[in-house]
């Protein structure tokens, strides 16, 4: 009768503790915040865009406006969001320029420290790489010297044989 070895069993992962029930006070506060901070602004935005679209159509068709008038109004509605985003980007650029002007006097000392660190790091890496390649260079130089020695011995034997 042979004994079969039983493979070690995989330890069972401990069961995750059950999540506690959410706090009802925080849940109500979250619902209120999501209503006032997310749902209401989206609803107001949709309502404003819809009302303005209806007003454009009513104003355009009641006066017998031409199609070009409606298209001009539509172009204005397309340009306004880009103007807002563009002005935000300009403000960000101005803030970055201001920060750069304020930080520029501080940069030289810190950039010198960073440069010194990388010079030191470069020297250490070069030292380590030289030490790691040294054994290979020794082997190759020994092979080259043996090959040169064999050539010189062969040439000396050829010379001595040719002189006879």
pLDDT 10s digits, 45-57 = 999 989 988 887 7
Residue span of the structural domain in which 90 resides: 73-104
| 125 falls within a domain | yes
pLDDT of the residue at 97: 94
Instruction: Determine which helix (DSSP H) or strand (DSSP E) holds 112, and give its type and residue range.
Output: helix 107-163
What percentage of the chain exceeds 70 in pLDDT? 88
pLDDT of 99 higher than 70? yes
On whether residue 95 sits in a domain, the answer given is: yes
Among the listed residues 34, 54, 32, the one whose alpha carbon sits nearest the alpha carbon of residue 42: 34
1 belongs to a structural domain? no
- Note whether 137 and 123 are same-domain residues: yes
User: Does 9 fall in a domain?
Assistant: no
Please report, for residues 28, 30, 31, 34, 38, the alpha-carbon distance to residue 24 in angstroms, rounded to integers and kept in the order given. Answer: 6, 10, 11, 15, 20
Query: 73: pLDDT confidence band, cut at 50, 70 and 90?
Result: confident
pTM, full prediction: 0.35
């Amino acid at each position: 009768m042979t004994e079969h070895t039983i493979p070690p069993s995989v330890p069972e992962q401990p069961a995750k503790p059950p999540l506690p029930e959410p706090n009802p006070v925080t849940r109500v506060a979250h619902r209120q915040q999501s209503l006032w901070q997310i749902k209401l602004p989206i609803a107001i935005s949709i309502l404003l865009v819809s009302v303005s679209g209806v007003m454009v159509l009513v104003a355009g068709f009641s006066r017998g406006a031409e199609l070009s008038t409606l298209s001009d109004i539509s172009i204005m509605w397309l340009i306004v969001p880009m103007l807002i985003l563009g002005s935000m980007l300009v403000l960000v650029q101005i803030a970055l320029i201001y920060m750069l002007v304020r930080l520029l006097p501080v940069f030289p000392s810190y950039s010198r420290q960073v440069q010194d660190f990388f010079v030191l790091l470069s020297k250490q890496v070069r030292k380590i790489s030289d030490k790691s390649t040294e054994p290979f260079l020794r082997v190759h130089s020994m092979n080259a010297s043996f090959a040169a020695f064999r050539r010189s011995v062969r040439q000396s034997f050829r010379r001595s044989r040719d002189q006879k």
